[in-house]
Each structure stands twice: as C-alpha cells, then as structure tokens.
Amino acid sequence: LCGDLQMQVPFPFSLLCFQVIKCKAAVLWEANKPFSIEEVEVAPPKAHEVRIKIVATGICRSDDHVVTGAIVTSLPIILGHEAAGVVESVGQGVTSVKPGDKVIPLFIPQCGECNSCLSTKGNLCIKNDLCSGTALMPDGTTRFTCKGKAIHHFAGTSTFSEYTVVHESAVAKIDSAAPLEKVCLIGCGFSTGYGAAVQTAKVEPGSTCAIFGLGGVGLSVVMGCKAAGASRIIGIDINSDKFAKAKELGATDCVNPKDFKKPVHEVLTEMTGHGVDYSFEVIGRTETMTAALACCEYNYGVSVIVGVPPAAQNITFDPMLLFTGRTWKGSIFGGWKSKDSVPKLVADYMKKKFVLDPLITHTLPFTKINEGFDLLRTGK
C-alpha cells in the first residue's frame, strides 16, 4: 500500500438523490492494460448504503497489484480505496452520515458486531471484501454499469470514480474543515504505516527500528517510529533518491542493499550489534519479508509484515528464526478500528500532531490517472 500520490477529481455536486448518476470513472477492463476513462452509471444507494462524491483519491501499490495480476479479482472493475469526499445521498436506515458530510471511505469496514470488531485485539471486520473477494456490494450486486455491462467494486470502496457507493459500515464522517486532498491519505497509506508502528508493533522509546521500503506507507512507518520515540530508525530501499525525504521525516540512517555484497539482514545486524528491536516489511516481497525477520534481535525482536503479499507465493525460512524468540506478525490498516479511528486521526492531523504534505509527490487531474500509475511504478 503506497499512498504517496493523489488525484484531484473536480466536478459539480449532484442533487440527483435516489436517481442514477452518470459520471466519469477509470475502468480496468483487462489486466496489464491502461485504465480507460469511461462514462459509468452509478445506481442510488440501497438500504444502509451511502453514495459519495469523491473529491480526491490516492494511488496505492495495492491498486497496481490488481492491474499486474498480483492480486486476482473479477474484471472489469473500478479500483481505488484511499480517498475522501462528500456524501451525496444515503439509503434507508443510514444514521451515521447525512448528505453534505465530509467523509473517508473505509476499505476495512467496522460493522461493530463481528468477533474482530468486538475484540480489543483485532480490526479486520468480517464484512471486508479483501478476504471474501466478491468484488461486489455486501448484497452480492454492483452499483456500477458501463456500456451495458456490470462493473465490479474494489475493496468495498472503488474510489477511481467521480461517484461511488459504499456500505454504511465502510464510511467515516470527518471534520468539516479537513482538506480532503490531504486527509484522503488517512484512508489507507498514512494510517497503515503509522499504525503498524504505534498500534501493531507498539514501538517503545529508545528502540531501534528498520523499515524495508520507503514509499508512502514506509515513510508513514518512519513517522510512527519517530512519534513512538525510537532512537534509531533505519530506512532500507534500492532507490537512494528516497533517502532525503526519509531522513526529513525521522530516519537516522538509510541503507541501499545494492551497495553491499552481503545480505542486507547481515548489514543491519552489524550496524546495530545485535539486530533491531522492530522491523517492518512495507514492500510486499517474500524475500524482504524473511530478511526483515532475520534482521531482528534473535530473542525478542518483532517483525511486522505491512506490504500486501503477492498471490500464489509462499515463504520458505529457517524456523530457528522464530524458535529463539522472535515475533512475526501482520498488520492490516495499521491495526486501527476504522470507523472509530479515522475521525480521530483526521482530528490529530488538524491539530498538527503529524504531517501529510511530504507524502504527496504529485497532484494530477483525474483524467491523467495512467500517468500517475507510471510515476508510481518508476518510484517517483
């Protein structure tokens, strides 16, 4: 999940409540092909659903995983899951938001009723579409059509559209003064990285941390480690151009594995003398996941998988890495309970408790979404 690039989506506010809205959307008809800007029909919200006018959306690596086939889902589809917008209309029974409210769609919903929602230990609501993979609304249907064909949803959000429909459990009302072109990053990239450090790993003051991958999410992990009081924060990336921004946000050291002949986990162990207290894999590659585990302190180190794993790949590793006491864990959306936490994170941003501007590298009009993905793929 990247979140270091955003798209502006300018268009007029619609008053066509409970009518079909025609608008622009970026449709992916086939894998490994560019997005096609199409006119789509967006159906009105059904009971407990919300139709949103999207104002700004981020481009994330997870969206690109669908394009490349690393994430397998049904096509054609409207991707996008990191956004902010304004409620246009609501279906029967919706009580948490109303037309005109500023909101952030939630790719991890919060129904408040399932085991994860009721537990203090988890946040992966059973109503998420990442695990079920239906690419449809919870009732098994779609709200999008284009050229007479049904178009699938992505992660229950589909924000690469001027209008989208989400379930009420997948939308959070936020501060009416919040700048949507900034706080859209709280819908995924920032929250995922920052939360992995402060919420999942629970980084402690004075600790040492290593972050594999310095995209938008990795930089957010850096910010989280700094906020938690880590004394040494080591950023790892094969693109040295990312080091300056990483240091600006709190990294104390930066390492390019290409500069060394030995494995990077050995480099990090030598740098720290015993391995790091906490490591984070924010790329989504199996070899860096095992390297991140191996660079942890052998007895009490904690390694967190943040990057989305590629489909149909397994990890082979030496079980002694875990037997000696290391902890290996995963983190989705930073461990935050989405509907509860997103408004609080926006409030913290408004209070200047953290910054978002450095995570935004480019701002493009919606119609240049393919150029945005090119920038993402080239590490820019």
CATH of the domain at 232: 3.40.50.720
According to the model, what pLDDT value does residue 308 have? 87
Is 117 a known active-site residue? Answer: no
Kindly state whether residues 29 and 176 are assigned to the same domain.
Answer: yes
Q: Confidence band (pLDDT; 50, 70, 90) for 2?
A: very low
Is 81 a known active-site residue? Answer: yes
Kindly state whether residues 155 and 255 are assigned to the same domain.
Answer: no
Find the mean pLDDT for residues 78-106.
97
Q: In what order do the strands lie in the sheet with 302-305?
A: 253-255, 232-236, 208-212, 278-281, 302-305, 327-330
Say yes or no to pLDDT of 151 above 90.
yes
Q: Confidence band (pLDDT; 50, 70, 90) for 13?
A: very low
Say yes or no to pLDDT of 16 above 50.
no
Query: Residue 91: how many CB atoms within 10 A of its CB?
Result: 17
- CA 100/CA 89 separation, integer angstroms: 8
Tokens 């310095």 belong to 214
Say yes or no to pLDDT of 263 above 50.
yes
Contacts of 97 (CB under 8 A, 6+ apart): 50, 87, 90, 103, 168, 171, 173
Catalytic hit among 2, 81, 167, 296: 81
- CA 267/CA 41 separation, integer angstroms: 54
Is 114 a known active-site residue? Answer: no
User: Cβ(291)–Cβ(318) under 8 Å?
Assistant: no
Kindly state whether residues 228 and 362 are assigned to the same domain.
Answer: no
Share of the chain above pLDDT 90, in %: 89
Asked whether residue 8 is assigned to any structural domain, the reply reads no
Kindly state whether residues 181 and 300 are assigned to the same domain.
Answer: no
According to the model, what pLDDT value does residue 3 have? 45
Asked whether residue 147 is assigned to any structural domain, the reply reads yes
Is 65 a known active-site residue? Answer: yes
Catalytic hit among 2, 60, 117, 184: 60
Say yes or no to pLDDT of 181 above 80.
yes
Find the mean pLDDT for residues 61-90.
95
Number of residues that make up the chain: 380
Say yes or no to pLDDT of 12 above 50.
no
* Start-to-end Cα distance in the chain: 15
According to the model, what pLDDT value does residue 14 have? 41
Kindly state whether residues 112 and 220 are assigned to the same domain.
Answer: no
Asked whether residue 68 is assigned to any structural domain, the reply reads yes
Q: Confidence band (pLDDT; 50, 70, 90) for 1?
A: very low
User: Cβ(141)–Cβ(355) under 8 Å?
Assistant: no
- Model pLDDT for residues 280-316, shown as the tens digit of each residue: 999 999 999 999 999 999 999 999 999 988 777 888 8
Radius of gyration over alpha carbons of the chain, in Å? 20
Q: Confidence band (pLDDT; 50, 70, 90) for 8?
A: low
Query: Residue 41: how many CB atoms within 10 A of its CB?
Result: 17
Catalytic hit among 65, 152, 167, 265: 65
- Single-letter amino acid, residue 373: F
Find the mean pLDDT for residues 233-260.
97
Q: Which residues pair with 151 in a beta bridge?
A: 144
Is 191 a known active-site residue? Answer: no
Catalytic hit among 23, 62, 117, 341: 62
Kindly state whether residues 176 and 308 are assigned to the same domain.
Answer: no
E strands, the chain, are 6-8, 21-28, 36-42, 49-58, 77-78, 83-90, 102-105, 144-146, 149-151, 163-167, 171-173, 208-212, 232-236, 253-255, 278-281, 302-305, 327-330, 363-365
Q: How far is CA 178 from CA 105, 183, 349, 350, 353, in A?
A: 15, 7, 9, 7, 14
Catalytic hit among 184, 188, 254, 296: 188
Kindly state whether residues 78 and 166 are assigned to the same domain.
Answer: yes
Segments forming the whole domain that contains residue 325: 201-330
According to the model, what pLDDT value does residue 5 have? 53
